[in-house]
Structure formats: C-alpha cells, structure tokens
Structure 1
Amino acid sequence: MKKIGQVLKSEEKYSWVKMEKGTSCGEEKCPLSSPLIDDSKSDFYVVKAYNDLGALPGDKVLVEINDHIALGVAFLIYIFPILLTLSVYFLLRYLTPLPLYHYSGVAASIIFSFFILKKGDQKLQLNYRITDFADSICERCPFSSGTTVSSLPE
C-alpha cells in the first residue's frame, strides 16, 4: 500500500510523515497511524517512516507499508471480532439451550475482542518506508499551505 505524504521532521534514518486520512479512519484515530500522536481533530495522520532516500522536511514522498501488514491490521480490526462473536454464539447454542448463556457469551466475546485489539495496538510495530519522491507538480497531493500538524513528539 502506497500513499503520498509530506515530510515534517527528520531524525537520523527516520522521518515523521504527514498523510491524508482515508475512509478507514472515520472520525477518530487511524488504525495505521502512530500511537504517539493524537490525530483525531485533524484531516491528516502522522507516521514514523524509515527514510533511506534522505528526504528533507517539506518534501512530498511516497510512503509504503507492506500489503500483508495492512491487510492483517484490517482483519484484526474488522473481521476478528465478528468471527469470534459468531463462533462463541454458535458454540454456546450447540452446548446449551438457555438464551441467557448465548447472550452472555456474545457480550463476553465482544469485550474480549476489544481487549485483544487494545493489546495488539500496543505491541504492533508498523514498518513504514519512504520509497520515492512524489512528482514536483503533484496535482493529487492533499497538502496545502494552511494545513499543519502541531503535535509531533519531541
């Protein structure tokens, strides 16, 4: 998965890159953004990307993340809770005829899936990489002079 971004800050081999939020972000944090930055009130999110091209602050670049990682994150966020809940429901329905146990199991599986997602979010290390510089014209770039992200970690 490749996206166009703008380098905000560079430090040694890594750079902080600002990218436009997609439809998967909703109104809260993007699932693929840095956990160090609160980006809920912005149209952009910021990631820490490996910068082997030597891009400088202000450069427009292409940032890539492995497709398997992006799909794995999407599966974990959207599909895993549904599969877990359905599995628990049908297992309890097979084991016992009492609806109270069915609903209690469903509620417990939803809570458990949120717990798993929270733990996964804390441990997941996404490896973003700056792969190329964007066009000098860059008509599709979402950045304008009035958009900033001021909550970079020091």
Structure 2
Amino acid sequence: MSRKQESLLCEEFVEQIRTVLNIPIFGQPARLREVMEVLLQFSITTPITVILDEFQDIQRVNRAFFSELQDLWDRYRQQSRMHLVCCGSLYSLMTRLFQDGREPLFGRADHRINLQPLRCRYIAQMLNDRQEFKPEKLLQWYMLSGGVPK
C-alpha cells in the first residue's frame, strides 16, 4: 500500500480495475471504501481475488478505513465471492488488526498464514537446481528472502 493521498490511490486502483477487470466505473471514486464496494459488488457475479499488500499502512491514508471495511464486509460477505488477502510486514500490527477484540476487523479473518523466511539450505538448493550457485548469490538471495539486509 502506497503512502499517497487517498484520492490518488483510488485513481490508480480504479484505472487498474477498469483495465484489468474491464469493469465500467462511472465517475471517479475518491475514497477507498467506494473502490472496495465496487469490487465487492463485482464479486457477487464474478469470483475475484484482491490482494492488499502492506495492509497496515492504510490507516495512514484513511484512519476510518478498517471500520469502513468491516461495514462493507459484513454487508456483502454472504453474497460476495471475493477472496480478500491482506498482507503486512508488521506482524504485531497485523495480528492486532484481526485478533484484538477492540479492533473493527476482529473475527473477520477466515484464515491466517504466517510466512517464515526461507532457510539458507533451500535457497542454496534452488540456486543449484538452476546451476547458478555462487556464495555471493546465496548471500544476496538470503538477504532478500530471509535475512535482515540491515
């Protein structure tokens, strides 16, 4: 999720929705809630997977979005065929958003996946399989996938 103004994010999302999904959207939604509602309405007739990366950053763009999403999800959940995937790199915040009883999205997650870093030996094996193994390359891949680049 970008740290742009909400209206600019909506503009980008709407362009992708029009282009990729070929959904006619009239006007220009200026709120993320409106964009999500368009997608939820579309998913009533067409199954769709929506992935929101760095989901926790949405609160910087619109502090009310999590409550707005709760309302939309509760209204459309039974008829919608949307698979909504919310990804985030801040484990504690993502856990709080979906597991703290005081948060609007509490109880709305059907499944959770806690991805662990790839082990060094698996990365080495992948590089070997591609005949690209070099110690420097192993270090680069480990830093990108499981190590701490700092």
- Taking structure 1 as the reference length, the TM-score comes to 0.26
Q: Determine which structure has the larger strand proportion and give its number.
A: 1
- Taking structure 2 as the reference length, the TM-score comes to 0.26
- Greater RCO, CA 8 A, separation 6+: 1
Q: Determine which structure has the larger helix proportion and give its number.
A: 2
